[in-house]
Structure 1
Amino acid sequence: MALELHILGPAFSLPSIDPQCLAAIAYLMRAVPRDRWVLIASSDTALSPTRDLPAIKDGTTTIGGFQNIVDYLDTKSNGQWHLDNQFSDSTDQADITAFSSHLTTHALPLLDLSLYVSSQNYTTTTRPAYTHLIPWPTQYFIPPTRRSLAKIRTEHLGLNSLDMDTVDDEERETRKARNLVPEALRSTNKHRQTVTGLVKQSQGGMRFRLDALVDALCEPLEHLLGDKRYFLYDREPSSLDCLALGYLSLALVPDVPMKWLRERMESRWPGLVAYARSGVEECFGGRVGVEDALLVDRAERIEAGGQLPWRAPELKGAKFAEKVIWNEVLDRVPLFRTTILTSPSNPESESASSQRPSPSSSAALLPTIVTATTALAAVAGYLLYAGFGRESENRRLSDMGEAGAILAGLDFGNPGPETKAEVPVMRGGVPVGLEVDVAVDEKG
């Protein structure tokens, strides 16, 4: 039975929108025979014990995360599918460990800032890319979740609050209140800016700060690379090369409006840029689109050469939508956070499901459980009522009261591949695709 590598699907002409997924693809392309694995563009993060992709499925065993996948392939093949076993020198092994840590520490925050925290890049490029590669209803959960995590990961840089929609939203919300305060007593913060504004100020101090972050990533890597084909030696790549390709390709390839990351790399670190672009061609075979991941006839593409071993994902139906919505509701209730529904093949799911909260905490959370159950019932009722289709003109969700007013503003349709960008649309007085955060008072 062939190994199944499940990833988040193609975007920006790359085979995945996620750096660790790209790293896993590069690793299997270089380490595992082509007839021993298939590549599946999935959006079911519950497949992975880590609750995130990539994940490799081998029969009833599922492994999540790039480094865990590398270790599993080493064990399964008795070392034959482990790229780093050829480097016996302790210095080489230390370099692989140290520079892999350097990549995840410095490259991930830069991708977070470029693709997610920057409002202009996110709304015009990243978020529309997700609508093409993941099915409904994951479109309403995965992108905002990944953006929230990106904001958390970059908070220590002091740039997270410089973004984005929150500044404009707060300005609109407080404009009337400010007008009621005498001008002499008004408090203004002239230093509050957005990431978009920062990168436009090419001579500003904050743009230099962003450039310094790019240099901190690239300088050690280009020094290690030198004139070699790969980071350690000319002859063979290591797991470090695969991990670097995942992060550097997402820094260079996406055509985003605010190109500060790519521009700094191209102007200051040309050796690293050439290395990354060569790796994209070597491992991924050039441009990759969503249509490549959905093709069924895998044999023809392998015979053509230079293509990834795609296998079409399973069609997602009502049961998948039910599971996604149910998981999202449970994930927001503290009582159930240790009992999230996961794949039955995940060994970690049994240990997690055995955990139970104390009776006192259960009683304290009863109002929250009732609220979550009511919300789930409203969504389920709508799905049955509308038949998973778009609301017709003669149906009046407003008759359902407050819950109906919210549902009337949600677009439950699955955007077609011809959708180019997200255009805000008002329906029932509520923007389509409205993301609603529910505050939970754990004290009850």
Structure 2
Amino acid sequence: MMSTAATQPTLCTLHIWPSRWNLPSVDPTCTAAVLYLQLTIPGKFEVTECTNPDVSPNGKLPFLTHGHAIVSSLPAIISFVSSLAKSISSGARDLDASLSALQKAKRTAWCSHVEANIGDLVAYSLYSVDDNFWKLTNPTIASMIPIPQRYYVPGRIREMYRPRLEAAGLWTQAASESEKDSFGKRQKKDDPKDEYARAFERDKVSAQAKASFALYAKLLNGQKFFFGERPTTLDVYLASHILLLLDPPFPDQLMRCILEESYPTLAEHARNVKTEVSQIPQQYLVAPAQKQSLLSLIPRPLSNPPKTKESRMDEVDLRFRRMRWMWFALAFGGVACYVTQLLMKVTIVKANRKPRRVQSERRGADQDHEAKVTDEEEGEEQEDDDDEGASAQDGDE
């Protein structure tokens, strides 16, 4: 599905979580974005694998860059590409152009339902099931990111999904009781008393999954795709989630068993969408992976795409850059002036302290000298008194 040879000029760049398990991405939303772009603008976009969501405007992946435009979130990307389809020169195709107004309204509602309900089941399989997380999800995410992030980022992502899964009733007891050491390694804590509770939780999750899958199996009604013989946005949404329940080598295969045994039409539908995408001659490009370093710990804004001679910056860009550098210069100058004034004050205070010390020492010496003189005078007066007393005694005699 991927190609590194440049066959056509790239129009857009899609930033997604890296690919694994023979899927475009480990995230269902990123997978849906890749499938959608390949069906609408095949060969006219490239994929950049990213592990730092902070570079996205909304802090989440995927997001799309097209020239100076940055589009984040999957619904916004779909809307943006649909607007490109209105221009014949762009070569883009609208997957939902043949749908009626009522069908488009149903498509929007069902897409939101897929992202919420089937998305919960994907998150459950990746992050809630203890064996799946420690044996598959955690090592997979850790292999994508450098040291030291690999020791704490997988656990942090798991904790981000925890409130959502708890609200959906899909956070298991084993996940709540699992303990980790300082390096994120699992410390086993087996308790036979919890086996019945875990079995009950498993049955509850199985019933919840079957209820959700039954809705889409009924909606599909044995057709190849939901609205005919061509895939639409709804097909892309559902297939991207179902594929992440089928293809990853989960140690706990609960969801895969439910799909293949009870709802094989949904599994076949996901394979049909994937086959439809793989049969397109023009494949998307994959940008070279970025080298990771300690500087990746610092969130940085997106760098502008390389400029060609034909695409020069306009006056607004030049003015913005000049104002930005002027602001940096003023800020640096202000800090330098503040530091200089502070150093001058410290120097003046030190200079004022030295004379005071010398003066105090001189005062102490003068006081000592005066005390000595006083003592000497008192001694002389005492000697005179003694002499006078002695002479008076001699006269009496």
> Fold conserved (TM > 0.5)?
yes
| 2:291 counterpart of 1:315 | yes
How many percent identity over aligned positions? 23
Which residue, out of 139, 149, 159, partners 1:148?
159
CA contact (8 A) 1:117 1:164 kept: yes
Partner residue, 1:43: 51
TM-score, normalization: structure 2?
A: 0.64
CA distance in structure 1 between the partners assigned to 2:303 and 2:284 by the alignment: 28
Distance 1:244 1:161, change over 3 A: closer
SS at match of 1:248: helix
| 2:60 counterpart of 1:65 | no
1:56 deviates by: 0.8
CA distance in structure 2 between the partners assigned to 1:136 and 1:79 by the alignment: 46
Number of residues of Structure 1 aligned to a counterpart in Structure 2: 284
Please tell me whether Structure 1 or Structure 2 has the larger radius of gyration of its CA atoms: 2
Partner residue, 2:268: 274
CA contact (8 A) 2:142 2:154 kept: no
Partner residue, 1:247: 241
1:306 deviates by: 7.8
Which residue, out of 21, 31, 35, partners 1:26?
35
Distance 1:118 1:101, change over 3 A: same
Partner residue, 1:440: none
Give the unaligned 5+ runs of structure 2.
1-9, 181-190, 305-397
SS at match of 1:316: coil
Partner residue, 2:21: 12
CA distance in structure 1 between the partners assigned to 2:85 and 2:168 by the alignment: 41
Which residue, out of 92, 107, 111, partners 1:100?
111
Partner residue, 2:94: 83
Question: 1:405-444: CA deviations, max 9, x gaps?
Answer: xxxxxxxxxxxxxxxxxxxxxxxxxxxxxxxxxxxxxxxx
Distance 1:250 1:166, change over 3 A: same
AA partner of residue 238 (structure 2):
A
CA contact (8 A) 2:220 2:226 kept: yes
After TM superposition, list the pairs within 5 Å mapping 1:210-249 onto structure 2. 210-234=205-229, 236-249=230-243
Q: CA RMSD in A?
A: 2.9
CA distance in structure 1 between the partners assigned to 2:67 and 2:290 by the alignment: 16
Question: 1:16-48: CA deviations, max 9, x gaps?
Answer: 1000000000000100131x2111111121221
Distance 1:206 1:241, change over 3 A: same
After TM superposition, list the pairs within 5 Å mapping 1:157-306 onto structure 2. 157-160=168-171, 162-164=173-175, 166-167=177-178, 198=198, 201=199, 205-234=200-229, 236-283=230-277
Distance 1:32 1:212, change over 3 A: same
Partner residue, 1:299: none
Distance 1:210 1:125, change over 3 A: same
- After TM superposition, the structure 1 stretch with the greater mean CA deviation from structure 2, 24-33 or 205-214, is 205-214
Distance 1:17 1:117, change over 3 A: same
CA distance in structure 2 between the partners assigned to 1:257 and 1:319 by the alignment: 35
| 2:126 counterpart of 1:115 | yes
SS at match of 1:164: helix
1:108 deviates by: 1.3
CA contact (8 A) 1:79 1:85 kept: no
Partner residue, 1:134: 145
CA contact (8 A) 2:42 2:282 kept: no
CA distance in structure 1 between the partners assigned to 2:294 and 2:68 by the alignment: 24
SS at match of 2:249: coil
1:76 deviates by: 3.4
1:14 deviates by: 1.3
CA distance in structure 2 between the partners assigned to 1:244 and 1:279 by the alignment: 10
Question: 1:272-303: CA deviations, max 9, x gaps?
Answer: 11111232333357xxxxxxxxxxxxxxxx9x
CA contact (8 A) 1:251 1:262 kept: yes
Give the unaligned 5+ runs of structure 1.
170-188, 286-301, 325-340, 346-444
CA distance in structure 1 between the partners assigned to 2:149 and 2:136 by the alignment: 18
AA partner of residue 203 (structure 2):
F
AA partner of residue 37 (structure 1):
F
- After TM superposition, the structure 1 stretch with the greater mean CA deviation from structure 2, 72-81 or 50-59, is 72-81
Question: 1:240-285: CA deviations, max 9, x gaps?
Answer: 1111121110011111111111111111101111111232333357
Distance 1:315 1:92, change over 3 A: same
Which residue, out of 22, 40, 60, partners 1:52?
60
Question: 1:89-108: CA deviations, max 9, x gaps?
Answer: 12211221121121112111
1:84 deviates by: 4.2
1:219 deviates by: 1.1
CA distance in structure 1 between the partners assigned to 2:301 and 2:245 by the alignment: 32
CA contact (8 A) 1:116 1:122 kept: yes
1:142 deviates by: 3.8
CA contact (8 A) 2:17 2:62 kept: yes
CA distance in structure 2 between the partners assigned to 1:248 and 1:28 by the alignment: 18
CA distance in structure 2 between the partners assigned to 1:60 and 1:282 by the alignment: 31
Question: 1:384-404: CA deviations, max 9, x gaps?
Answer: xxxxxxxxxxxxxxxxxxxxx
